[in-house]
Structure 1
Amino acid sequence: LESYASIFNVVEKVRPDEFYHLAAQSFVSYSFEDEFSTILSNINGTHYVLSALKQKAPDCRFYFAASSEMFGKVNESPQNENTPFNPRSPYGISKVAGFHLTKNYRETYGLHASSGILFNHESPRRGAEFVTRKITSQAARIKLGIEERIKLGNLEAKRDWGFAAEYVKAMWIMLQQEKPDDYVIGTGECHSVKEFLEAAFHYVELDPDKYLEIDETLYRPSEIMLLQADASKAKKALGWVPEVSFKELVKLMVDSDLKRFS
């Protein structure tokens, strides 16, 4: 992502029909620790891809993975495509820049470039450093007698969590549209980290309070307390609606980790 020549050469060789730009430094907490690599890879990487497509594959349909973190400290809920951006992390800032780069290439050069403003999307493949996977993996490991404690930071932060596979389908649908556009993708439901913890531990018949340890070092320097999607535009224009419920999502992640660690 940090080499324009590499990206240019790949685009020139492959001449893609569709390009899903999902590569990024995507761990919000880490973006506070290493602002420079986050900004460099996320902003420049997006710019490099768009520039290469403009020159070598101008008919390619491009998808940019925007993020609910762009909304940041919100003054209105739920958030839709018209909600002002107010990012509170280097990651969020980098995604706002990528969003505007994508829009600029669409409006200035005529690229079929769309952004999906995705709210938190989870699956058993979620990285172990993310709070949802930390919760489900520790619930499984504690149930299996491998671990005894789980350390978490802010339990009160609320997010709109959905199933990643359904969100990937939304990405594909966006690029099948005649005209490119930007869409918020989310469930419209909001749950706290504490609710996610309780759902996971209760599923394996454990009391989370017996195993929980609050670690203040895991708090973000600038926390976003609430993000909730209004995906009515995607429902109307794309026919996209989420089907996996919050509890079903937690269960499938815990089941996967139980199998993984057994």
Structure 2
Amino acid sequence: MKSLSKTALIFGISGQDGSWLAKLLLEKGYTVHGTSRDREASGFSNLTRLDLKERVRLHSTVLNDFRSVVQVIRDVQPAEIYNLAGQSSVGLSFQQPVETLDSVIHGTVNILEAIRFLGLGARFYNASSSECFGNTAVPANETHPFHPRSPYGVGKAAAYWAVANYRESYDLFACSGILFNHESPLRPARYVTQKIIRGAADIAEGKADRLTLGNLSIARDWGWAPEYVDAMWRMLNHATPEDFVIATGRPHRLEEFVALAFEHFGLDWRHHVVVDDALLRPSDISLSVGDPEKAKRLLGWEAETAMPGVVARLLDAEHRARQGFAS
């Protein structure tokens, strides 16, 4: 088997995090490969938006098909593998629990087993989630107990323990990043942050007069996605494989997020936002905040952008998009 080079393989390269990670790795001189279920049918709009599509090498791979996963890893021979694939919407996971669990758990195990089967010395990063913790009465660190409150959280918790098991059983360099909420203009429109930013802009332009949302009292730890993918890279370039919480450490209520977005346009959100109980989830997390002290201490990573800055950046990107400029 040929020696590993500065090559990275990103499962889920077309998503928000996959696209930002591809950008970061290219800037660092990596050869970047990425996968999609069908590379010919996928639009790769995020890669196109970041002007990256022609700079990465794309492969068709089905994550719940072990043979497909083995083939792409064997062909690419990556030094680093990032698993950012799978159904990523918490809300949608309540409607599609089987698909969510299957994509998150089986995809992760297939990659781990492929690395073991091939005897590859690649370092593996798994995208875990703050959803594993459920409610956090205190900022959650790496030792905080899991109590997921959604099918998505259940799947991420199971995948987290699969990574830990393979690391301990087979001496793989495998780690999980437990990322709290992180946003960018590359989020799909169904995400509440994008819904708020676009809704406020539409109301300011007279295209709408109201925005319908769910529970505004929930509090989240929001950060900026391009900063969070840097933490992923740092984890795989750390001396030892360890799991890390990645967060700002500062929670804000969704109502604050809404107020800042509307305030930007000189609007009082209370005159335009309607709360609809139909949008409430079967179970939800009232408070989610992380403790990133370990990442700061061992990786030298610290979030630079907290929620107010995230809102400002999203608003700027939305303005540029409506003016016809690239993000």
- Please indicate the TM-score interval, normalised by the length of the shorter structure: over 0.9
Q: Which structure has the higher relative contact order (CA within 8 Å, separation 6+)? A: 1
Tell me which residue corresponds to 2:52: none
**How far does the alpha carbon of each residue in 1:144-182 deviate from its partner, in whole angstroms, 9 at most, with x for none?**
222221110000010000000000000000100111000
Any conservation in 2 of the 1:139–1:254 contact (CA below 8 Å)?
Answer: no
Note if 1:216 corresponds to 2:277. yes
Note if 1:2 corresponds to 2:46. no
Tell me which residue corresponds to 1:35: 97
Q: Distance in 2 between matches of 1:168 and 1:57?
A: 27
Runs of 4+ aligned residues of structure 1 deviating over 6 Å after TM superposition are: none
Q: How does 1:34-183 map to 2 (within 5 A)?
A: 34-56=96-118, 58-74=120-136, 76-183=137-244
**How many angstroms does 1:215 deviate by?**
1.2
**How far does the alpha carbon of each residue in 1:112-134 deviate from its partner, in whole angstroms, 9 at most, with x for none?**
11110000000111111111111
Any conservation in 2 of the 1:102–1:114 contact (CA below 8 Å)?
Answer: yes
Q: Distance in 1 between matches of 2:319 and 2:201?
A: 5
Where 1:45 maps in the other structure, the secondary structure is helix
**How many angstroms does 1:245 deviate by?**
2.9
Amino acid at match of 1:103: A
**How many angstroms does 1:57 deviate by?**
5.2
Q: Distance in 1 between matches of 2:194 and 2:119?
A: 37
Q: Distance in 2 between matches of 1:142 and 1:109?
A: 55
Structure 2's unaligned 5+ residue stretches are 1-62
Any conservation in 1 of the 2:250–2:306 contact (CA below 8 Å)?
Answer: no
Matched-pair identity in % = 45
Give the direction of change, closer, same or farther, for the CA distance of 1:57–1:145 in structure 2 (3 Å limit): farther
Q: Distance in 2 between matches of 1:216 and 1:128?
A: 20
Give the direction of change, closer, same or farther, for the CA distance of 1:57–1:169 in structure 2 (3 Å limit): farther
Selected match of 2:249 from 182, 185, 188: 188
**How many angstroms does 1:244 deviate by?**
1.5
Q: Distance in 2 between matches of 1:5 and 1:88?
A: 33
Tell me which residue corresponds to 1:200: 261
TM-score normalised to structure 2 length: 0.78
Q: Distance in 2 between matches of 1:46 and 1:126?
A: 22
Any conservation in 2 of the 1:22–1:64 contact (CA below 8 Å)?
Answer: yes
Q: Distance in 1 between matches of 2:184 and 2:156?
A: 22
Any conservation in 1 of the 2:221–2:307 contact (CA below 8 Å)?
Answer: no
Q: Distance in 2 between matches of 1:135 and 1:110?
A: 45
TM-score normalised to structure 1 length: 0.97
Note if 1:12 corresponds to 2:74. yes
**How many angstroms does 1:2 deviate by?**
2.0
Where 1:171 maps in the other structure, the secondary structure is helix
Structure 1 range deviating more: 5-14 or 156-165: 5-14
Amino acid at match of 1:151: T
Q: Distance in 2 between matches of 1:182 and 1:231?
A: 11
Where 1:95 maps in the other structure, the secondary structure is helix
**How far does the alpha carbon of each residue in 1:195-245 deviate from its partner, in whole angstroms, 9 at most, with x for none?**
100011111211111111111111110011001110101000101111123
Q: Distance in 1 between matches of 2:312 and 2:272?
A: 19
Q: Distance in 1 between matches of 2:281 and 2:260?
A: 23
Any conservation in 2 of the 1:160–1:229 contact (CA below 8 Å)?
Answer: yes
Q: Distance in 1 between matches of 2:216 and 2:167?
A: 40
Give the number of equivalent residue pairs. 261
Q: Distance in 1 between matches of 2:287 and 2:120?
A: 38
Root-mean-square deviation over aligned CA pairs: 1.1
Q: Distance in 1 between matches of 2:108 and 2:251?
A: 30
Any conservation in 2 of the 1:141–1:261 contact (CA below 8 Å)?
Answer: no
Q: Distance in 2 between matches of 1:17 and 1:103?
A: 20
